[in-house]
Amino acid sequence: MGQLSKTRARPATISISFSLSCHGSTGAHETLHRSCNEVGREALRLDHATQAEKGGPISGKVHECLDDVGVQYTVLHPTWFIENFGTFSQSVIEKDEITSVHRDGLTPLVGVDDIAKVALNALVAEKSPNTDYFVIGPELWTFDEIVHRRLTDEEHIAFYETSQVPREFAVFLHTSAARTVEGEEEALVGNPKSIVGKVKLRDYFETNKGVWKKAEPLPTMLVVEFISWAATDAFLSDTNTHFRPAVDQISKSDGCLAIYSGQEKEDRNNFWMVVAWQSGTHLQAAMNRPEYAGMMDKLRPFSRSGHLDVHHIDVNKDTNAALGVAFTTIVFLNLKAGVAATDATSKVSTVLGRSLDAGSATGTYPPGFWGRTHESARKFVAAIGWSSVQAHDNTMRDKKEVYRVATEELLGITDMKRVHVVFKTTYHAALPVS
């Protein structure tokens, strides 16, 4: 096996470095001559493909030029980098595949750390050997063993061209890779000019497995839609007749889990409809249908102002526990001017969670839910269900200090509005509702 001398030159400061683009050979001789004249004829290092030959196309011309200008040099031919697999992270995550034209050709995949060590020895050696070496890995692999999808020649060239690689260089890269099938890289094992590294493919995969790890699926988030309006006398006098068409329309939408409706206790003119959706995707699909807009248009004439107040929040809790009960407290929180939304979100969630936990721990009422609205990052909605008026009163009495502190904390950063609604379960996907 080949081996660079480890005899080191006296340490010196590297004052300048430069690189030559090998995407084309035009002007390579002139550029290298000019660079050598500027920095002196010190040691240079050129890395290029294992299949690239002195005097051949692209980087082979640069190799030839190194001899012509009389500079000290070392040429390294590394095999396919192990780290190249990191560039396939997206295709591995999305399709469980990498692509190549290596087919069943064997190649001693090499780690960049091993290449760097050889390169360092080349740069600091007392005297450059003015020759080339192959830098290979300790194991032979076929890409079939690593699980890949074989590309045709044109597909492989097109792959490089989509990355803005010039056609000439894309063909060169393809040709170099395809020659692996002919056993050229396998033959490097045992070659006297080959320097064998220590980095193994499995070690790289194990150390960097997070690169290809699929993201954990997010917990399913329901979307709760709150719709309220100051209802007209005509609507309130015959709610079922005027409201039933809207319920029938929405309940037929894919992903509609439940619909609750009722009047506000503080102002009986205010009517509420709350819809629980399986996900934001289901809600958006329903909103994109003309029937949804038509349903809203049919409800607006029954609003005294012609306006429907709509809010949406994401939740990961059972909404029926707070809405399908005797009555529900709905809390609206609007951040005060000057309060940053990013800072307040965590605090609001902490206070609401602590308050609800205080009541639910006693078993006096079902857990509620809350969330920031889709419509504004500065507005939050919470819903708390009560099994009875007595349960509400008992909790307010027994946990008086807890709720006093929570209320003061929230009022310090928000403007708060509370209403109470007696909801009827108008539709539930899992329940027969008359």
Q: Are residues 258 and 280 in the same domain?
A: yes
Average pLDDT, the chain: 80
**CA distance linking residue 53 with residue 349, whole number of Å:** 66
Q: Are residues 86 and 132 in the same domain?
A: yes
CA-based nearest residue to 229, from 269, 274, 259: 269
Q: Are residues 263 and 197 in the same domain?
A: no
Residue 79, token pair as written in the block: 């095999």
**CA distance linking residue 137 with residue 196, whole number of Å:** 6
Q: Are residues 247 and 172 in the same domain?
A: no
215-229, 335-349, 362-376, 411-425: which is most confident: 411-425
**CA distance linking residue 335 with residue 410, whole number of Å:** 9
Dihedral angle over CA of 274, 276, 277, 283, nearest 10 = 10
Q: Are residues 190 and 234 in the same domain?
A: no
Q: Are residues 129 and 227 in the same domain?
A: no
Residue 62 lies in a domain: yes
Residue 125 belongs to domain with CATH number: 3.40.50.720
Q: Are residues 234 and 360 in the same domain?
A: yes
Report the pLDDT value the prediction gives residue 172, as an integer from 0 to 100: 80
pTM of the model: 0.50
Q: Are residues 239 and 204 in the same domain?
A: no
Residue 1 lies in a domain: no
Residue 260 belongs to domain with CATH number: 3.30.70.100
Count of domains for the chain:
2
Question: Which are the contacts of 370, defined by CB distance < 8 A and separation ≥ 6?
Answer: 313, 315, 331, 348, 349, 352, 380, 381, 382, 383
Q: Are residues 85 and 201 in the same domain?
A: yes
Which residue did the predictor score with more confidence, 131 or 8? 131
Report the pLDDT value the prediction gives residue 169, as an integer from 0 to 100: 81
Domain that holds residue 327: 222-428
Q: Are residues 124 and 259 in the same domain?
A: no
Q: Which of 48-57, 252-261, 281-290 has the lowest mean pLDDT?
A: 48-57
Q: Are residues 166 and 240 in the same domain?
A: no
Is the pLDDT at 303 greater than 90? The verdict is yes
Report the pLDDT value the prediction gives residue 45, as an integer from 0 to 100: 55
Which residue did the predictor score with more confidence, 46 or 123? 123
Residue 8 lies in a domain: no
8 with 124: CB under 8 angstroms? yes
* Residue 186 DSSP class: G
Residue 63, token pair as written in the block: 């190799």
Of 177, 212, 247, the residue that ends a domain is 212
With bands split at pLDDT 50, 70 and 90, how would you rate the model's confidence at 163?
low
**CA distance linking residue 290 with residue 253, whole number of Å:** 12
Residue 19 lies in a domain: no
| Sign of the torsion formed by the C-alpha atoms of 282, 288, 289 and 290 | positive
Q: Are residues 247 and 346 in the same domain?
A: yes
**The length of the chain, given as a count of residues:** 434
Average pLDDT estimate for 105-122? 89
Model pLDDT for residues 371-424, shown as the tens digit of each residue: 999 999 899 999 998 888 877 887 788 778 878 888 898 999 999 999 999 999
Residue 5, token pair as written in the block: 């001398």
Average pLDDT estimate for 159-163? 73
Cα–Cα distances (Å) from 127 to 1, 7, 9, 73, 389, in that order, read 19, 9, 8, 9, 92
